[in-house]
Structure 1
Amino acid sequence: MTATLAIIGAGPKAVAVAAKAAVLRGMGVPAPEVLTVERSAVAANWQPGGGWTDGNHRLGTGPEKDVGFPYRSALVPRRNAELDEQMMRYSWQSYLVGTGQFADWIDRGRPAPPHRTWARYLGWVADQVGMRVLRGEVTGIGIDGDGWALSTDSEDGPGTVLADAIMATGPGQAERSILPGNPRVLSIAQFWHRAAAHERIGAERVAVIGGGETAAAILNELFAHRVSTITVIAPQVTLFTRGEGFFENTLFSDPTHWAGLTLAERRDAIARTDRGVFSARVQDALLADDRIRHLRGRVAHAVARDDQIRLTLHSDRAGESLETVHGFDLVIDGSGADTLWFTELFTQDALDLIELSLGGPMTGERLQESIGYDLSVGQLSPKLFLPNLSGLNQGPGFPNLSCLGLLSDRVLGAELTRPDPLPRRTNEYQPIR
């Protein structure tokens, strides 16, 4: 009985898993059927309409870290070299060769591609492997026998997807902000929609909330707009630069020794290389622009008053709690992804089962600490894969683009069904592209 893996969101992780599953089946090796539920399009978040970019900014990770990287498979004894060779057919270089762009890319010095080009690459892979995509939105996740039942609202109306396992991907919605509906407060999506439409922002005092790469991309775009001062609001004591040397990068592409680190060492490594840090390229731009300053604190409250947005910042200094109020003409909420966006989808029966496996209420901390080797919630059956929450336990490369090939290995190497599964209805959905 072939298992079904349902993936919420047709981004890089979904494409990587679907590609390797297709290659395995082509080699005669059993692999689950992969069905992706996507409300927009393949790689939508890398395109202007997805709300996370205008499509023109450069990819922060090298494009060679593609859907098969690092090409070190360990799924099929004595045939892993063959598996990697087959996956190379869907590499970044193969895409460039297949679309007549390879020589030009080499001659230009192998530049990082714009986000929209990366999206085209992912779409090309999805087409090549025949990835099944249901165009719709997941509205609920419940239990059906030994598996999951995903309620969906698709182009054909409401429906149900039955799956033996689920993988939730993506950063959530980019439309949220600290003061919805106020024209002086922009969400990530609102900011990038304006940038994509070439609307110039003109303001005296602008605040950008967030100290990670989402906020960094917004800053990189703001440099070209008519603003007098830009204040970055983040809880860190300063704006740290992401470590991008060989040893730091190895943590992302080769997590072999990650489990041997203490919890404190892992948290420290993530803080120095991944969470709340700017890339060296963005930091160089910050140094060259004297409009930028940093304000330490967390936004506790926001209110519109006197043609300004007044932000109340909370910070701890010298063991004391301190609150300060600052006024801005425009606030851009770039606080980034919501890694727990999917938790609101669970029905009560599904939530009860998850909390039973966690040994308590479902929280972000409990979920992170439960993630096992296969990137799923430990002790939970049916499987729930959460690669975006796996960094603490399994390595910092899994939540991002740094080791998509290893990610697909971990997921596809998991046991997705119980030894004697109950009879299940089959999905009637057809691929939608």
Structure 2
Amino acid sequence: MTGTSLRQYPHYGLLGVGFGPSHLSLAAVCDSTRASSVRARLHCLEARPAFSWHPDMLLDGTRMQIAFLKDLVSPQDPTSPFSFTNYLVGKGRLEQFLNLGTLHPTRREYADYFGWAADRLAHHVSYGHLVEGVRPVTGADGGVTHLEVDYRDITGDKHTIAADHVSLAPGGRPVVPAGVERDALDSGVTFHSSTFLPSIDRFHQRGHDLPHRFLVVGAGQSAAEVFRYLAREFPYADITLAHRGFALVPANSSPLANEIFDPASVDLFHAADATRRHTILTELRTTNYAAVDDEDIRAIAELLYDQRVRGEDRLRLCRFTELAACRADGPTALVTLRAPSSGQALTSRFDAVVLATGYDFREAGDLLTGLEPLLLRAPDGTLRIRRDYSVETTANCRPRIFLHGAAEHSHGLSSTLLSVLAHRSARILDSVFGPPPRSGRPQTTSPLRRPRRSRRVSSTPIQRRADAATTQEYGCDFRRILPWGSTGPSEAGMGVCTVAPAATTTPHSHADHEHFYVVRGTGLLHLDGESTAIGPGDAFVVDSHRRHHFENTSAEEELEMVSVWSMGPFGAAR
């Protein structure tokens, strides 16, 4: 475990790893419902050079499986500027979209919506930053005070950033069946559906009218969409869809079954015991896994029937079939398909094999390795996860570690889906920063009634608190008011520091003496291992080189203090 950090790194209240829909929603909900002092404390690191969402599976005509009102933010703030409705207004397409009479946009349009929102929330993300690990930092009492995150920038240089809490959303890992050999993937003749469009492009280059042989493995929505695409784009190709069941199963999208994705159902699931959770997952599996929209099933059935009318046999569905082996053989793939019930196997050659075999979201990969001694697990080895999506940790660990996508065992089927993005984001923000104002939006001064300011009667310069920039210093929001225009160390000065609800600042020391006056809120001053309660009207001095930090003991109110520092003490409490 990492000891007390002697270096000062950039420090955030909540640091997100990854910037896909989960953290895009976190940023949207934060900017829509939280004050500016909170918004400045959220940041994300993304390995990709720019935002993108499944760009290689944006097939023409494919639609979202959730209603557009379950967007990044609307369930928490319908008036947000980051809603899908506002996106349509901005694009000049609202009326035309409504005329379609659908709740489900195309996947291409929804990806464009995500990109549109990402552009407007770019201040919350640093692209080209590949996170390599997260490690704990301990204080003088041996407890974990905060976390440090190591990452490499786009040039390969290594850096570190600190955070009070982290949120991990690295996305799912494509599942590759055990029988697929490495050379089949490396040669490009076998590929996961997540890279479908660029991988299939070479066959477009060779010619649409050639008798290509394609194999699609899977029984879910992606498998059906890929099968339909290949049948349409390559009219002379031989296309096989292999799946383990008797037939493609229709997705259970009935209103009552879909209540499993409501926040109240997540509450119910999380409160259930392990046996009950397993029963619910099994019963409602077809709302999400190995299931296909009715429209696509009907379209495939019509394709198969039409070819019988034509006397053709180029499209086929192989039921009760699994992929047993797959290896590269020159420019083709040599594949063995097996019927598990009978054990019969058949080896065939294909020009390309598409693995529509889903994703693994079970854990956040190697990102948790450095934190493993702090994590609590159930007897079956799964992580114990709180309702707010944070992993349960040992008692001496103050930071919270939030997981997106890896909580199906504790939060149900919605864990890996877009259905509860906004609700999950609000839960996490409430846990870290406390609930927002009751209105649900940041409190601002009405433009119709501006506060009156006293008229200047002398030439004395006045530095307004509202004009001072807010920065992150030692784990709190800090407005440096004096000296004029200063953003770095100075021999004397004054500022206002604000500690978020339930937050703890970073332990530190410095050469100057620091004098504090508590304006509002309650908390603890931790000074050289001793703790003292502080509240409004209290004043105290922290002498030079004494290690100290603050803890806000309120879950709802900020702790605000005026800080005056100088190289010599000008008053100490007796």
TM-score bucket (shorter structure)? 0.7 to 0.9
Q: Give distance in 1, aligned partners of 2:212 and 2:281.
A: 38
What secondary structure sits across from 2:114 in the alignment? helix
TM-score of the pair, normalised by structure 2: 0.60
Per-residue CA deviations over 1:274-294 (Å, capped at 9, x if unaligned) read: 112112222122211212303
Return the match for 1:413 from 409, 430, 437. Answer: 430
- Cα-to-partner distance string for 1:331-361 (whole Å, 9 max, x where unaligned): 11221223257413455x334444xx2268x
Hey, what does 1:53 align to over in structure 2? Answer: 58
Given that residues 215 and 336 in structure 1 are in contact (C-alpha distance below 8 angstroms), is that contact kept between their aligned partners in structure 2? no
Q: Cα distance 1:352–1:40, how it changes in 2: closer, same or farther (>3 A)?
A: same
Gap regions ≥5 residues in structure 1 = 74-83, 426-433
What is residue 79 of structure 1 aligned with on the other side?
A: none
SS at match of 2:333: strand
Alignment of 1:303-342 (within 5 A): 303-305=327-329, 309-313=333-337, 316-317=340-341, 322=343, 324-329=345-350, 330-340=352-362, 342=364
Determine which of 293, 306, 317 is the counterpart of 1:293.
317
Rounded Cα–Cα distance in structure 2 between residues aligned with 1:58 and 1:406: 23
Q: 1:358 aligns with which of 377, 392, 396?
A: 377
Partner of 2:542: none
Residue 421 of structure 1: how far off its partner (Å): 5.6
For 1:26-425, list aligned pairs within 5 A: 26=35, 32-42=41-51, 44-47=52-55, 51-54=56-59, 57-69=62-74, 71=75, 73=76, 84-87=77-80, 89-110=81-102, 112-145=104-137, 146=144, 147-155=146-154, 157-158=156-157, 159-163=159-163, 164-172=165-173, 179-194=184-199, 199=205, 202-226=210-234, 227-254=236-263, 255=265, 256-259=267-270, 262-290=276-304, 291-305=315-329, 309-313=333-337, 316-317=340-341, 322=343, 324-329=345-350, 330-340=352-362, 342-347=364-369, 349-354=370-375, 357-358=376-377, 366-367=381-382, 370-379=384-393, 381=397, 382-415=399-432, 420=504, 422-423=506-507
Tell me the TM-score normalized by structure 1: 0.78
- Residues 109 and 424 of structure 1, relative CA distance in 2, 3 Å threshold: farther
Q: Is the 8 A contact 2:257 2:284 kept in 1?
A: no
SS of the residue aligned with 2:232?
A: coil
| More helix as a share of residues | 1
For 1:27 and 1:309, how far apart are their aligned partners in 2?
56
Matched, 1:10 2:11: no
CA pair 27-305 structure 1, distance change in 2 beyond 3 A: closer
Q: Distance in 2 between matches of 1:220 and 1:53?
A: 13
Q: Is the 8 A contact 2:173 2:361 kept in 1?
A: yes
Equivalents in 1 of 2:507, 2:93: separation in Å?
Answer: 49
C-alpha contact 2:17 2:166 (8 A) present in aligned 1: no
Work out the number of aligned pairs and report it: 397
* 1:380-431 Cα distance to aligned partner (Å, 9 max, x none): 6543322212233213223111121211122223248986564389xxxxxx
How far apart, CA to CA, are the structure 1 residues paired with 2:249 and 2:259?
Answer: 19
CA contact 1:54–1:195 (8 Å) conserved in 2: no
How far, CA to CA, are the matches of 1:101 and 1:281 in structure 2?
25
CA contact (8 A) 1:10 1:41 kept: no
The amino acid of 1:350's aligned partner reads L
Task: Give unpaired runs (5+ residues) of structure 2.
Answer: 1-10, 138-143, 305-314, 434-474, 476-501, 510-574
Contact conserved, 2:191 with 2:199, CA < 8 A, in 1? Answer: no
3-state SS of the aligned residue for 1:275? coil
Moved more, 168-177 or 154-163: 168-177
1:75-130 per-position Cα deviation (integer Å, ceiling 9, x unaligned)? xxxxxxxxx2443x322111111221111212233474333322221232233345
1:144/1:162 contact within 8 Å kept = no
SS of corresponding position for 1:142: strand
Q: Distance in 2 between matches of 1:135 and 1:266?
A: 39
How far, CA to CA, are the matches of 1:214 and 1:264 in structure 2?
25
